[in-house]
Amino acid sequence: MEYKKHSALSLFRAFVFAMITVGAVAVASAQDKVDPSGTWTWSNPGRGDRPATTNTLVLKYSGSALTGTVTSPKRGGGTASVDIADGKLAGSEISFNVIREFGGNSVTIAYSGTVTADTITGNTTMERDGEKHSRKWVAKKSAASAQ
Q: What is the CATH number of the domain that holds 108?
A: 2.40.128.120
48 DSSP 8-state letter:
T
Could you tell me if 28 and 45 lie in one domain?
no
Instruction: Flag whether 146 is in a domain.
Output: no
Instruction: Flag whether 15 is in a domain.
Output: yes
Could you tell me if 25 and 62 lie in one domain?
no
Residue-number span of the structural domain to which 7 is assigned: 1-32
pTM of the model: 0.73
* Residue 32 predicted with pLDDT over 90: no
Could you tell me if 57 and 27 lie in one domain?
no
Which among 143, 144, 72 is positioned nearest to 109, based on CA atoms? 72
Could you tell me if 26 and 63 lie in one domain?
no
Could you tell me if 106 and 64 lie in one domain?
yes
Torsion sign over Cα 116, 120, 122, 128: positive
- Count how many domains the chain has: 2
Could you tell me if 57 and 89 lie in one domain?
yes
Out of 43-52, 109-118, 123-132, which region has the weakest mean confidence (pLDDT)? 43-52
> Which has more pLDDT, 144 or 67?
67
Could you tell me if 27 and 96 lie in one domain?
no
Q: What is the pLDDT of residue 29?
A: 46
**Alpha-carbon radius of gyration of the chain:** 23
Instruction: Flag whether 65 is in a domain.
Output: yes
Could you tell me if 75 and 14 lie in one domain?
no
Question: What are the tens digits of pLDDT across the range 11-28?
Answer: 666 555 555 655 544 444
Instruction: Flag whether 54 is in a domain.
Output: yes
The answer to whether 131 touches 120, Cβ cutoff 8 Å, is: no
Instruction: Flag whether 75 is in a domain.
Output: yes
Instruction: Flag whether 111 is in a domain.
Output: yes
Instruction: Flag whether 114 is in a domain.
Output: yes
